[in-house]
Amino acid sequence: MTSRTFNRLLLTGAAGGLGRVLRTSLKPLTNILRISDIALMEPAQAGEEAVRCDLADAAGVRGLLEGVDAVVHMGGISVEGPWEPILAANIAGLHNLYEAARVQGVKRVIFASSNHAIGFNPRSRRIDANDPVRPDGNYGVSKAFGEALSRFYWDRYGLETVCLRIGSCFPEPKDRRMLITWLSYEDMSELVHCSLTAPKVEHTIVFGASANRDSWWDNKAAAHLGWTPRSNTEAYRARMEALPPVDQSDPAELFQGGGYTTMGPYPF
Ligand SMILES: NC(=O)c1ccc[n+]([C@@H]2O[C@H](COP(=O)([O-])OP(=O)(O)OC[C@H]3O[C@@H](n4cnc5c(N)ncnc54)[C@H](O)[C@@H]3O)[C@@H](O)[C@H]2O)c1
């Protein structure tokens, strides 16, 4: 017997920026942390199982989900770009993950969605989880797909998901926009922890930003997660506001998604 919440938790994208943070912070929750990525990972430590896997490989993903209680899904293409890699990792790969989760009887998935699922909302608008998606590129479309797919798996199969519409999760904010969208590593880890342990989440969409002075996002629809962000960007404000002035008529400045709203098209 153990007091840990899970026997086996799967973390995908374990070699990535957020995956490396979660690899440490998820440990106390689970007897075994199965870490996975298409890229090379640091060797498995005590209490870990490392499985190298391409999300686009259906048979591989089916095996990856075997014996898993819950999934923290960080893997996939994490930036805007041409369609084909996004199709393989974020569309086909996500479908593989949910089918494998269904077959293996997984109870809950924490899905790394993105603010780019709603990036074409103007910055003048405050939105909540009930506002329609407005993706700002191929990447944002793939995250909106993930939100729709996970809702289907809840409605049809009772597989719960928390979709994290992550803002900008880096060690520090890098520009003025991130004064609003920044999510600290501590708040991100706590958000994943709350999403995994809340008694009932059904299909929840939550915006992932720290307790910054300004916000475009209302999280009242996710109050049941019990998540309270504690960081904020005030310590970085003077430095970010001293950066060279921006053209306020640039679409990158008008929309919540920032520069992603001006990228593409790609060769077709
Ligand atoms: N960091 C942020 O600010 C931010 C913002 C919004 C959303 N997100 C989302 O959070 C998740 C983690 O973000 P991150 O910053 O750590 O990204 P990252 O790019 O550092 O990590 C993603 C990982 O996924 C792996 N991956 C890519 N294609 C794969 C495939 N076909 N099969 C298996 N693994 C594959 C990569 O090797 C990488 O290690 C991503 O899904 C991203 O879209 C992050």
Domain ranges for the chain: 6-262
Q: Are 225 and 204 in contact (CB under 8 A)?
A: yes
CA 95 to chain centroid, in Å, comes to 16
Hey, what long-range contacts does 23-27 have (CB within 8 A, 24 or more apart)? 23/48, 25/189, 25/192, 25/193, 26/72, 26/192, 26/193
For ligand 1, atom 24: residue with the closest CA: 75
User: What is the per-residue pLDDT for 126?
Assistant: 98
Cβ of 140 closer than 6 Å to ligand 1, yes or no, is: no
Query: Measured from the CA of 73, which atom of ligand 1 is nearest?
Result: 41
How many angstroms is it from 107 CA to the middle of ligand 1? 22
What SS3 state is found at 222? helix
The count of other CB atoms within 10 Å of the CB of residue 235 is 10
CA neighbor of 141 nearest in space, from 96, 206, 77: 77
User: What is the per-residue pLDDT for 2?
Assistant: 46
Tell me the C-alpha distance between 198 and 220, whole Å.
15
For ligand 1, atom 37: residue with the closest CA: 39
Cβ of 209 closer than 6 Å to ligand 1, yes or no, is: no
For ligand 1, atom 41: residue with the closest CA: 74
User: What is the per-residue pLDDT for 3?
Assistant: 64
User: What is the per-residue pLDDT for 156?
Assistant: 98
Q: Which residues of the chain have pLDDT under 50?
A: 1-2
Could you identify the residue written with the tokens 């307790």?
211
Per-residue DSSP letter, 140:
H
- The verdict on domain 6-262 having CATH code 3.40.640.10 is no
How many angstroms is it from 19 CA to the middle of ligand 1? 8
Cβ of 15 closer than 6 Å to ligand 1, yes or no, is: yes
For ligand 1, atom 26: residue with the closest CA: 76
Q: Are 183 and 209 in contact (CB under 8 A)?
A: yes
How many angstroms is it from 112 CA to the middle of ligand 1? 8
CA angle at 10 for the pair 7 and 13, rounded to the nearest 5° = 160
Do β-strands 6-12 and 70-73 pair in parallel, antiparallel, or remain unpaired?
parallel
Cβ of 57 closer than 6 Å to ligand 1, yes or no, is: no
User: What is the per-residue pLDDT for 263?
Assistant: 98
Query: What's the pTM value of the predicted model, to 2 decimals?
Result: 0.98
Neighbouring residues of 249: CB distance < 8 A, sequence distance ≥ 6: none
Tell me the C-alpha distance between 34 and 48, whole Å.
6
For ligand 1, atom 11: residue with the closest CA: 74
The number of residues in the chain equals 268
* Digit-coded pLDDT (tens) for 78-95: 999 999 999 999 999 999
Inter-axis angle of helices 138-157 and 93-104, nearest 10:
20
Q: Which residues are catalytic?
A: 139
For residue 218, list its beta bridge partners. Answer: 128
User: What is the per-residue pLDDT for 245?
Assistant: 85
- What is the best residue among 18, 61, 71 to mutate for testing ligand 1's pocket, by most ligand atoms within 8 Å of CB? 18
Cβ of 166 closer than 6 Å to ligand 1, yes or no, is: yes
What SS3 state is found at 114? strand
User: What is the per-residue pLDDT for 1?
Assistant: 36
For ligand 1, atom 31: residue with the closest CA: 89
Determine which helix (DSSP H) or strand (DSSP E) holds 206, and give its type and residue range.
strand 203-208
User: What is the per-residue pLDDT for 123?
Assistant: 97
Tell me the C-alpha distance between 55 and 58, whole Å.
7
Could you identify the residue written with the tokens 């904010």?
173
Cβ of 146 closer than 6 Å to ligand 1, yes or no, is: no
Cβ of 257 closer than 6 Å to ligand 1, yes or no, is: no
Tokens for 9, please give them.
Answer: 């938790």
Exposed e or buried b per residue across 129-166, where buried means at least 16 C-beta atoms within 10 angstroms of its C-beta: beeebbbbbbbbbbbbbbbebbeebbeeeebbbbbbbb
